[in-house]
Structure 1
Amino acid sequence: SWALPQILKKAGIDYFMTTKISWSQYNRFPHDTFHWRGIDGTELLTHFITTPNNDGSWYYTYNGNVTASSVQGLWDNYRQKELNDQLLLAYGWGDGGGGPTRDMLEAVRRFEDMPAMPQVRQGRVEEFFEALDDRVSDHPRLPLWDGELYLEYHRGTYTSQAYNKRMNRRMETLLHQAEFVNSLAMLLNGGHAYPVETLRKSWIITLRNQFHDIIPGSSIGEVYEDSREEYAEAEQLAVAALEQGTQAIAGGRGQDGAAAEGVVGYRVINPLGWERSALVEISLDAFPASAEQLAWSSPSGEALESQLVRGAEGQPVSVLVHTPNVPALGYTTIFGKSTNSASAASSGAWSIGARLLETPFYRIELNGSGQIVSLYDKRNAREVLKPGEAANVLQVFEDKPMAHDAWDIDIYYQEKSWTVEELTEAVVEEQGPLRAVLKLVWRYHRSVIEQKMTLYRDHPRIDFCTRVDWREKQQLLKAAFPVDVRSTKATYEIQFGNVERPTHWNTSWDWARFESVAQRWVDLSEGGYGVSLLNDCKYGHDIRNHVLRLSLIKSAVSPDPEADQGLHEFTYSLYPHKNGWLEADTHRQACELNMPLLPVQLAGTAHTDVLPEQLGLFRVDGSHVMIDTVKKSEDDETFIVRLYEYGGIRGDVRFCTDARIGEFVSVEETNLMEEQPQAVEHGPDEVRLFMKPYEIKTLRITLKA
């Protein structure tokens, strides 16, 4: 990841070493020792171990043996002898443990004074890098690599074992929310106990399951049996911590008699760092009255529009309430009151059928296979799709790589493919006024794919909520969207930023990236218009020419013969937009897909404390800067706030708090480890921060009520 140099430096790590890049299939990386410049401009001394693999393969190894061929090969392979004459050989049995053997240790001793061979001595990795830094950092011939380090190999690991990918994203989201709501609860109620130990245990389990080979999806089946149990435990802990915080926030009943008979109140919590207006879905299980007899209102008494969601037998199961202006990293309060008439929204420009769908934003036509053959953008008066090509096409490819079934996708996979076309059901499940849902069901051999195409009155995002019972092996499932956009580059979200990659195959360096990784979104834009593809738990993508594709399921047979068999649940979304991805708030839309508003029922009259009915903890005025994390400090009762710039824009932004929360007593900038504090000037409720392109900042904040 191009974000890694900054992350490592700000975590107190000054050097980076790997062998993996030498494994690339098509292009040999040109340097072995170099400065790697990250997305924000941070430079990191990087060194590749050049030890030849024990079996004579072309790539370098981290499982080095101590033999004449490995010692001499280490030197022979190294390409910058004019720059540096001291190298690192990492030896021992890895990939299963074992470490150095007695024979290896004896070989090191004997090679120390071996004539006609590179001189060998024992040492520590830290000593090697410190000496390397002294020798080469100011050398005029030290190369500089400015960009990501793409491994032309193991492209299947973005998709294999989809359950783990989904749970990893879920845990990231849950833990983020739990940390934030408990921080807010501490500030609102000085006696609230932050669930330090619960969160720590959940984080440890989550991070353990990011270990190699678990999260890549390349472990044996028994590992994933254990991993499911571990994720269940981590989720239980994180949910408990989240509920501890939300219940503290929902403990107050509001200032206007919200607990009166026939009234139900909810805190609607926004875990993201900008004000948002969106639908919140509330279960009807605990309602004091029939759902049809509830009218919804804001704290000021303004009527809120709503829509009932009905179950399979037509009974109401939940209600959608349009909730406007929920403060950044905060909450608002809404009330449902018994009435003689329903508080439904107006229907508006809706016409939803199995083949033709008309919404305030789009006119959508489907063919008999359930594929989109026309997507007309009413706001921008243009067709989104490439003429003559269908979108949301579910494509299946034979996936039999040359080796390493779970790890790899090889470029020839596209030579043998099928399209999912056997549509068995197309039923309108919801028809506005706030949301419409068209249910589509396909059969593919022994597999069943159920999808709910979801459209909104007030939002241009099109969601494809998908449930798959997958029973195929060595087949790769993708969703394809051919759009009428001309661009030679596409944008992919990475950690704390984004990267542009080519959409053409002009060179071997281009077509080697036939499958690339992204986090929550990718985008293809031309001047004035673009299309983003968002997701809630997928990582593998390919964008070539005008076609955006998202990898959904990869069902390898080795090392786990039952990999990815069974149930899959995920959502991906299409987001056509005016202008580029930054102006269109693609990043925010993807975050909102992953973190919907959280409704929490008010506790009632038993709680004597009264909280404001609407409140925001922190906000930042730059639309290109995101507040990523709010948590309690690891060492004391202060709060940690992590922000990052994601638009490549340099300048000042204002970071603010609500005066009702308290005043800033002190603000310090630290590294990612919450160390090395530097005082930051501040006012009582705001701080001015200078953000560089793609910079990560960590603040330690003390607030006084």
Structure 2
Amino acid sequence: MHDRRSLIEKRIDRVLTERIKPAVHRTVAELDVTAWHVDGGQGEPVSPATAFAADYEPFAVGDRWGPAWGTTWFRLRGDVPSVAESAHLELVIDLGWADHSPGFQSEGLVYRPNGSVVKGLNPRNTWVPWRTTDGAVDLYVEAAANPLILEVHPFLPTTLGEKTTAGDEPLYRLARADVCVIDHEVWELVADIDVLNGLMLSLPESDGWRSELMYGLERGLDTLDLQDVAGTAAAVRAQLAPLLQRRADEGSHHVSAVGHAHIDSAWLWPTRETVRKVARTVSNVTNLMDEHDDLVFAMSSAQQYEWIEEHRPEVFAKLADQVKTGRLVPTGGMWVESDTNMVGGEAMARQFVMGQGYFREKFGITCEQVWLPDSFGYSAALPQIVKQAGCTHFLTQKISWNQQNVFPHHTFSWEGIDGTRVFTHFPPIDTYNSDLSGRELAHAASNFRDKGATNLSLAPFGWGDGGGGPTREMLQRARRTTDLQGSPKVTIETPAAFFERAEKAYPNPPVWVGELYLELHRGTYTSQAKTKQGNRRCEHLLREAELWATTAAVRDLAPYPSEALRRCWKTVLLQQFHDILPGSSIAWVHREAAEQYDAVAAELEALIDDRLALLTAAPDASAGEVMVNASPYSRSGTPALGAGPRHDVPPVRVTREDDSVVLDNDVVRVRLDARGLVTSVVDLETGRDTVPPGQVAGLLQLHPDFPNMWDAWDVDAFYRNTVADLVDLDALDVEERPDGSAAVVVRRTFAESTAVQTFILRPGARQLNGTVEVDWHEREKILKLSVPIDVHTDRAAFETQFGHLVRPTHQNTSWDEARFEVCAHRFVHVAERGFGVAVANSSTYGHDVTRHAGDDGATFSVVRLSLLRAPRFPDPATDQGQHTLHYSVAVAPDIADAVRAGYDVNLPERRLTGRAFEPVLRLTGQGEAAVEAVKLAEDGSGDVVVRLYEPYGARTSVEVEPDFEFAQVRQTNLLEDQIEPDGLTTDEGRISLQLRPFQIATLRFSRR
């Protein structure tokens, strides 16, 4: 029986592939082709108007075209032959595709001579509709020669990721350009067999329905005349019809199918190509909607909408029309589908402020579903952020990629660090590019982990990354599986419709508390260090620019530069996309990211300098040296969020003892040995040494780093099996600096690289600052910085957006063991009761914290920062060159000290000559809170918006004292919409704010 089944399956496959599918299109004429290669095929994209006016040269099917990243415009012309008026004509174009990887090779967009767009072309969308009444064919195709980077081997170094190194050899041959008659009866027969065969193969061999399907398909093929497929297709369909009419069981799994086309805003292509990918996909979708009224398509990322609006207004007009019908659904509410691990708190909020703001402005829509199918893990701060941004539901798929532990639910309530919960769904179909095949639908039903409690799941379907989105073949499958025995019931509907039914069906879902950690792609916390450095730098410059611009504006010194700030924010938010900030894109993408970060930083620095010059301008000769502080916490006597006179403290003392160097500022005493390694950091108040006996801090360690897969993405646990401690010394110098600080400068050479480590102790500081300057030329290595800490604990606190997350540092469970590399923002804090240490950083995100047995019977912890990697795919030169990284080791008895240390490293005081000025607002009272943003309102009203949060994980009460006139203060959500007071009270001019642990609060002050 098994052999016969195998024979039938092979017969079905061959007949379908070699006879029936080729009969769908019958060629009736060939098109005349001419071509214009933009700048010889290597030029950047041009407008349709420019292309239409170009000189085209003869071109033939079979000719080569397209150096990597080049553009060729084809003009297709021809007379339509006389055919029956009832015949349906289509043009079939093949740009030379491999029969796989839609979205990862050449693509095309078809235009009419009047500039209107018809649809996109790619390996799964080779057809162009044509009516017999349209006259002679005259069309243009903008063909993009995107290289198939993944074709040869997905992890080998490639020169194709940078245009200047990609070469000038044509990559493609035009394979077909025909006028065809499409036989709809044959096309429907293909779908009948495809669905029934897919269902049959998905069922267990013991299932009687599988046998019925097998023999029914065999009888159908017996009816088919292989020499006259078109003439016998109807008879075969009649033979198969009873099988397609069998109804599903009452309790069958129900799949809500949502048309989708996941398009990475950059990855194996630059953002300029994403602009075209999105236009092609949307053209396909709107074209399909014209013919198929059951299609619903969800599209995220406001940035991608804005690209279409700017570069392809004719496509945007069709998109906007379908948004009005409710069939093209803006979703996600974010500027891009960003990374969520490394994005700072205020930047994470602005992803929604900018994204929701765009959707509101253009379509009058506030998205309710967060749509992040492909980001590499999800911060525990997200539930509060998404709820405050107007969203009620969360969707992702990526956690199904876990290497070690299977996530226990597909539908659940996700609780964040502050206690906020959001209804969450992971599609059990385990892909965000489903084709709704029988195999995938069966997997969705069998894989669903909440059986019994509910039977509803969502399936995003459509080819992504420029593959064209949903196809008409996918719609055929959906229609046939609406109610089909043995298959899940498929309904095409919006994400909102699914979530409404899912919540109703599952009113008390299980609760998952904390981060959604992806047990994969841990190397993304470190790859492309300059991209990460640019992000962190610009996030904090934006904070300063908004703060000082607001301070100047409310004092009538200068107008608020809203447009400039919006432009800078958009650039930074785009670079936070989940394949840019994580460092997993081609070289071109990261080169552009560095250029854009530098441009944003230069613009913001100029703005900051201008506003501070106005604020500190002295009307008389009383000006002196002042320190400007943008941190929520005052330092050196400087008012937080303001400027005050410099207060000098005694300089650091430097002594030498037995070849060791000792730095002492009467707060901490630091000792470095002759190798330039820190052997002691003593807190003089308690006498505690932060460095465990026999250990050294500031130790650079080098590991091999060659993961099993996904080079730029992954760090595999076995990297720790081999380590080289970098202790050899080239030189050691001691510097006593004019500002009273002292520094020890250590120079080392290792392998192909050099490192200069500088250890700095400032007057009065409770922390040792460190700088690592590396000229990095290693390959497939990872550089770590080790800081042992003499405290006994089994956990550590890691900063995340608007708070911190406590993770165990033991390996009791497989879940704990899998978190061998984790993300932190500005600090990691390791502590016993009453004593602790914070390791803060200026641009490092990857960390590991481990426990070790001490000589005294207790344990100590080792915090390590992942400084640099050197993967070779997709960018073979990842991180090569010069890097400067900053960190600090701070005596931090409690988490409040750690928070301050994190701000201190990232918001250094600015030293100016001028007069002191008062903060734009102060926080007073018994408690403490952190001011994360001070800005003017997004709507241009001139209202002042202040965002605060509770950073320590404790209830607190603060009073807010603005230093400007205002008429009213209201509490808002992140979108600056008024909400019912949640902790805010006003009484006789006093503004009091009660905050829960990690609560975010936004206050809006209406100006007089």
TM-score range, shorter chain: 0.7 to 0.9
Check if 1:275 corresponds to 2:634.
yes
Q: 1:126 to 1:681 in 2, by over 3 A?
A: same
Report the 3-state secondary structure (helix = DSSP H, G, I; strand = E; otherwise coil) of the residue aligned with 1:654.
Answer: strand
Q: Of 662, 665, 677, which aligns to 2:964?
A: 662
Q: Tell me the TM-score normalised to structure 2 length.
A: 0.59
Q: 1:345 to 1:40 in 2, by over 3 A?
A: closer
* Paired position in structure 1 for 2:494: 124
Structure 2: tracts of 5 or more residues without a match: 1-378, 852-860
- In structure 2, how many angstroms separate the alpha carbons of the residues matched to 1:115 and 1:345? 81
Check if 1:437 corresponds to 2:743.
yes
* Paired position in structure 2 for 1:469: 775
Q: CA deviation at 1:93?
A: 1.9
- In structure 2, how many angstroms separate the alpha carbons of the residues matched to 1:273 and 1:655? 13
- In structure 2, how many angstroms separate the alpha carbons of the residues matched to 1:274 and 1:664? 24
Letter in 2 for 1:629: A
Check if 1:91 corresponds to 2:456.
no
Q: CA deviation at 1:203?
A: 0.5
- In structure 2, how many angstroms separate the alpha carbons of the residues matched to 1:399 and 1:7? 35
CA contact (8 A) 1:361 1:460 kept: yes
* Paired position in structure 2 for 1:75: 445
CA contact (8 A) 1:395 1:477 kept: yes
Q: Of 328, 331, 346, which aligns to 2:640?
A: 328
Deviates more, 1:11-20 or 1:98-107: 98-107
* Paired position in structure 2 for 1:146: 513
- In structure 1, how many angstroms separate the alpha carbons of the residues matched to 2:819 and 2:650? 48
CA contact (8 A) 2:971 2:1004 kept: yes
Q: CA deviation at 1:483?
A: 2.0
Q: 1:367 to 1:345 in 2, by over 3 A?
A: closer
Q: 1:85 to 1:182 in 2, by over 3 A?
A: same
Check if 1:589 corresponds to 2:901.
yes
* Paired position in structure 1 for 2:142: none
Alignment RMSD? 2.1
CA contact (8 A) 1:426 1:440 kept: yes
Q: CA deviation at 1:592?
A: 1.5
* Paired position in structure 1 for 2:594: 228
- In structure 1, how many angstroms separate the alpha carbons of the residues matched to 2:468 and 2:884? 39
Q: Of 857, 860, 863, which aligns to 1:548?
A: 863
- In structure 2, how many angstroms separate the alpha carbons of the residues matched to 1:78 and 1:677? 38
Check if 1:580 corresponds to 2:894.
yes
- In structure 2, how many angstroms separate the alpha carbons of the residues matched to 1:367 and 1:268? 34
Letter in 1 for 2:485: P
- In structure 2, how many angstroms separate the alpha carbons of the residues matched to 1:374 and 1:42? 42
Q: CA deviation at 1:580?
A: 2.5
* Paired position in structure 2 for 1:202: 568
Letter in 2 for 1:398: P
CA contact (8 A) 2:652 2:740 kept: no
Percent of aligned pairs with the same amino acid: 37
Deviates more, 1:354-363 or 1:73-82: 354-363
* Paired position in structure 2 for 1:638: 943
Structure 1: tracts of 5 or more residues without a match: 52-59, 259-263, 278-324, 336-343, 603-611
- In structure 2, how many angstroms separate the alpha carbons of the residues matched to 1:699 and 1:332? 26
* Paired position in structure 2 for 1:689: 993
Report the 3-state secondary structure (helix = DSSP H, G, I; strand = E; otherwise coil) of the residue aligned with 2:885.
Answer: strand
Q: CA deviation at 1:598?
A: 2.0
- In structure 1, how many angstroms separate the alpha carbons of the residues matched to 2:525 and 2:826? 13
What does the per-residue CA deviation read over 1:258-307, in whole Å, with 9 as the maximum and x for residues that have no partner? Answer: 3xxxxx64553221223321xxxxxxxxxxxxxxxxxxxxxxxxxxxxxx
Letter in 2 for 1:575: A
CA contact (8 A) 2:652 2:663 kept: no
* Paired position in structure 2 for 1:237: 603
Check if 1:528 corresponds to 2:821.
no
- In structure 1, how many angstroms separate the alpha carbons of the residues matched to 2:539 and 2:458? 36
* Paired position in structure 2 for 1:3: 381
* Paired position in structure 2 for 1:107: 477
CA contact (8 A) 1:198 1:241 kept: no
Q: CA deviation at 1:224?
A: 1.0
- In structure 1, how many angstroms separate the alpha carbons of the residues matched to 2:763 and 2:626? 23
Q: CA deviation at 1:349?
A: 4.2
CA contact (8 A) 2:702 2:725 kept: yes
Report the 3-state secondary structure (helix = DSSP H, G, I; strand = E; otherwise coil) of the residue aligned with 1:89.
Answer: strand
- In structure 2, how many angstroms separate the alpha carbons of the residues matched to 1:80 and 1:47? 11
Report the 3-state secondary structure (helix = DSSP H, G, I; strand = E; otherwise coil) of the residue aligned with 2:954.
Answer: coil
* Paired position in structure 2 for 1:55: none
Q: Of 680, 684, 697, which aligns to 1:378?
A: 684
* Paired position in structure 1 for 2:731: 425
Q: CA deviation at 1:83?
A: 1.9
Check if 1:44 corresponds to 2:347.
no
What does the per-residue CA deviation read over 1:143-173, in whole Å, with 9 as the maximum and x for residues that have no partner? Answer: 1112221111111000000001000000100
CA contact (8 A) 1:434 1:458 kept: no
- In structure 2, how many angstroms separate the alpha carbons of the residues matched to 1:637 and 1:31? 46
Q: CA deviation at 1:27?
A: 0.9
Q: CA deviation at 1:506?
A: 1.4
What does the per-residue CA deviation read over 1:512-532, in whole Å, with 9 as the maximum and x for residues that have no partner? Answer: 101111000001111221111
Letter in 2 for 1:507: T
* Paired position in structure 2 for 1:289: none
Q: 1:581 to 1:77 in 2, by over 3 A?
A: same
* Paired position in structure 2 for 1:615: 918
Question: Residues 407-418 of structure 1 correspond to what in structure 2 (within 5 A)?
Answer: 407-418=713-724
Q: CA deviation at 1:684?
A: 6.6
* Paired position in structure 2 for 1:508: 814
Check if 1:455 corresponds to 2:755.
no
What does the per-residue CA deviation read over 1:552-579, in whole Å, with 9 as the maximum and x for residues that have no partner? Answer: 10111111100000011110111124x3
Q: CA deviation at 1:350?
A: 3.6
CA contact (8 A) 1:664 1:682 kept: no
Check if 1:650 corresponds to 2:962.
no
- In structure 1, how many angstroms separate the alpha carbons of the residues matched to 2:744 and 2:989? 47
Question: Residues 299-448 of structure 1 correspond to what in structure 2 (within 5 A)?
Answer: 325-333=637-645, 347=651, 349-351=653-655, 355-359=660-664, 360-430=666-736, 434-448=740-754
- In structure 2, how many angstroms separate the alpha carbons of the residues matched to 1:559 and 1:522? 30
- In structure 2, how many angstroms separate the alpha carbons of the residues matched to 1:213 and 1:90? 20
Q: CA deviation at 1:422?
A: 2.2
Q: Tell me the TM-score normalised to structure 1 length.
A: 0.84
User: Structure with the greater relative contact order (CA < 8 A, sep ≥ 6): 1 or 2?
Assistant: 1
What does the per-residue CA deviation read over 1:179-220, in whole Å, with 9 as the maximum and x for residues that have no partner? Answer: 00010001222x521111111111111101111211110001
* Paired position in structure 1 for 2:200: none
Q: CA deviation at 1:471?
A: 0.3
- In structure 1, how many angstroms separate the alpha carbons of the residues matched to 2:651 and 2:710? 54
Q: 1:508 to 1:472 in 2, by over 3 A?
A: same
- In structure 2, how many angstroms separate the alpha carbons of the residues matched to 1:177 and 1:376? 34
Check if 1:180 corresponds to 2:555.
no
CA contact (8 A) 1:49 1:61 kept: yes
- In structure 1, how many angstroms separate the alpha carbons of the residues matched to 2:625 and 2:669? 35
Q: CA deviation at 1:373?
A: 2.6
Q: CA deviation at 1:410?
A: 0.6
What does the per-residue CA deviation read over 1:564-603, in whole Å, with 9 as the maximum and x for residues that have no partner? Answer: 00011110111124x3333xx210121021101123444x
What does the per-residue CA deviation read over 1:298-321, in whole Å, with 9 as the maximum and x for residues that have no partner? Answer: xxxxxxxxxxxxxxxxxxxxxxxx
CA contact (8 A) 1:273 1:619 kept: no
Q: CA deviation at 1:372?
A: 1.9
What does the per-residue CA deviation read over 1:613-655, in whole Å, with 9 as the maximum and x for residues that have no partner? Answer: 4312212235541011000001111010000012222242211
Structure with greater proportional strand content: 1
Aligned residue pairs total 615
Q: 1:686 to 1:447 in 2, by over 3 A?
A: farther
CA contact (8 A) 1:201 1:237 kept: no
Q: Which has the larger radius of gyration?
A: 2
Check if 1:671 corresponds to 2:973.
yes
Q: CA deviation at 1:703?
A: 4.5
Q: CA deviation at 1:112?
A: 2.5
Q: CA deviation at 1:693?
A: 1.0
- In structure 1, how many angstroms separate the alpha carbons of the residues matched to 2:498 and 2:847? 38
- In structure 2, how many angstroms separate the alpha carbons of the residues matched to 1:187 and 1:475? 51
